[in-house]
Amino acid sequence: DSGVTQTPKHLITATGQRVTLRCSPRSGDLSVYWYQQSLDQGLQFLIQYYNGEERAKGNILERFSAQQFPDLHSELNLSSLELGDSALYFCASSVGQGFIDEQYFGPGTRLTVT
């Protein structure tokens, strides 16, 4: 158990809909990272927050947005969903704000768009 929790575990929704994925980092970790893993693909970095502020941005679509709240949990919002958005979404956390920090991953949320 990494100490990072993600809810829900599974999500099935229709095209055009909007969903919110939630992540609670390990106690004491200030950074939260979001990743997308599509079928047979590596992990694609989406976005990082550090202590409530956006720290780095990767290949995140404009239809996607995220935020980190004062209690340090984070939410990833996916809107106008398309079939291609079906993937595993992982959240990770680390103590510091740099990518050389060891990241602890949650178990992921599997999103299926039908």
Partner 1 sequence: DQQVKQNSPSLSVQEGRISILNCDYTNSMFDYFLWYKKYPAEGPTFLISISSIKDKNEDGRFTVFLNKSAKHLSLHIVPSQPGDSAVYFCAVTHPGSGTYKYIFGTGTRLKVLA
Residues near partner 1, by CB under 8 A? 2, 4, 33, 35, 40-45, 48, 55-58, 90, 92, 97-100, 102-108
| Shortest distance in whole angstroms from residue 16 CB to partner 1 | 29
**Comparison of 72 and 106: residue with beta carbon closer to partner 1:** 106
**Comparison of 14 and 28: residue with beta carbon closer to partner 1:** 28
| Shortest distance in whole angstroms from residue 60 CB to partner 1 | 11
Cβ atoms 24, 3 nearer than 8 A: no
**Comparison of 18 and 103: residue with beta carbon closer to partner 1:** 103
Q: What does the block give as tokens for 37?
A: 């893993």
| Shortest distance in whole angstroms from residue 48 CB to partner 1 | 7
CA distances from 102 to 26, 54, 66, 86 (A): 12, 19, 22, 27
Instruction: Tell me the torsion sign for CA atoms 27, 33, 37, 43.
Output: negative
